[in-house]
Amino acid sequence: MVTPSSLPSLLPPFAAIVVAAGKGLRVGGETPKQFRMLRGKPLVRWSVEALSHAGADLLVVVIAPDAEAEAATALAGIAGLQLVTGGATRQDSVRAGLEALAMFAPERVLIHDAARPDLPRDVIARLLAALDNVRGAIPALPVVDSIAIADAAERMAGKAARETLRRVQTPQAFRFADILAAHRSWRGAPDAGDDAQVLMASGGSVTLIQGDERLRKITFAEDFADMSAAPAFRIGQGYDVHRLEAGEELWLGGVLIPHDKGLAGHSDADVALHAITDAVLGAVGEGDIGTHFPPSDPQWRGARSGRFLEHAVSLARAAGYAIANVDLTLICEAPKIGPHRPAMRAEVARLMAVGEDAVSIKATTTEKLGFTGRGEGIAAQAIVLVTRAS
């Protein structure tokens, strides 16, 4: 099982297919499970948003022939999305999704089941990294329980060697040309079970990468109840420092402040918004600002840090959380923060889509001690509370 020791912070381009054409009968009720609500939003939306936030530049959702209206409502507002009608089996539906992407000829494609809503970015990164060397890769976990083989009368008929068994998850990742050709040439049983078997039937090999317990599949009604039990609240903290230099603009809290020096950095170096962004990302377990906006990427040179904060807030919403409040402390000798506090507070509230009463901005000094005391830089510390969305 392959587990790369270091994963790129910036993922390579990829396309994604989310299969959401089934009826989900085992979960009960009349509404297909992919459109049932989980933590305040439809089940299918969770994985689609995760793939979108991870950078999927082509995103196809395969739905049942009569589900277009439900799907359009469930996925409203997600940019770059294409709905495709599926077939009688899962394999038919995947084939339809692949054919919809064929004209774009992406290099890599991830094929995912809508019934697995919690899709960690690390799994996506491991899959895409594996495709540098193989034609197909799937996430898998070891089997920890003893496995019994049952006969038709539900009696134990034998024992399976669990050391050789793995629990297979999705998304499954492939080089697009290979998996499309494999589906087009399939001559086996009506349904292969999963796309890894289709690739293997055409002579391709599939590598196992480390899966994640978070990628559990919702199959029964009780699974919805189990996965709805997210923590009522989570807390994140952020800390950032930037140098003060002559000739630079001074942006703090999204506000341009007149001063003889400004903060130096790859973006606009807004130390206040950087600290708040890291606090939001930390609260929902989404890494740090450098993971999403690496300083090595030239597209972020001089970028306004408000974009970073809005992205972090969108990830919190995608995880089912709303911003409750933020408490920011700026540490500097100059400039004086008091005159600019109302404007900064209003801008932070706007970027986070909360009321100004949810934003606290304070300032302090270090009594002339350290780099902030010598006027060499400004530090910021932020704490953010997020609460489970209703």
Largest pairwise CA distance in the chain: 84
Q: Please, what sign has the CA dihedral across residues 335, 339, 340, 342?
A: positive
More confident residue, 164 or 102: 102
Which CATH architecture fits 15-227?
Alpha-Beta Complex (3.90)
User: Which two tokens mark 130?
Assistant: 């594996």
Q: Band the pLDDT of 228: cuts 50, 70, 90.
A: low
pLDDT at 85 over 70: yes
Alpha-carbon gap, residue 367 to 157, rounded angstroms: 77
Domain-by-domain residue ranges, the chain? 15-227, 233-388
More confident residue, 384 or 154: 384
Place domain 233-388 in its CATH homologous superfamily.
2-C-methyl-D-erythritol 2,4-cyclodiphosphate synthase (3.30.1330.50)
- The mean per-residue pLDDT over the stretch 266-272 comes to 92
Q: What is the pLDDT of residues 320-358, one digit of tens each?
A: 899 999 999 999 999 999 999 999 999 999 999 999 999
- The mean per-residue pLDDT over the stretch 49-75 comes to 92
- The mean per-residue pLDDT over the stretch 80-109 comes to 94
pLDDT of amino acid 300: 81
Q: Band the pLDDT of 168: cuts 50, 70, 90.
A: very high
For the chain, percent of residues with pLDDT exceeding 90 = 65
Q: Please, what sign has the CA dihedral across residues 218, 234, 238, 273?
A: positive
User: Which two tokens mark 352?
Assistant: 């986070």
Q: Share the mean pLDDT of the chain.
A: 89
Q: Band the pLDDT of 72: cuts 50, 70, 90.
A: very high
Q: What is the pLDDT of residues 1-50, one digit of tens each?
A: 433 334 444 688 999 999 998 765 555 456 788 888 887 789 999 999 99
pLDDT of amino acid 157: 84
Cα 372 from chain centre: 36
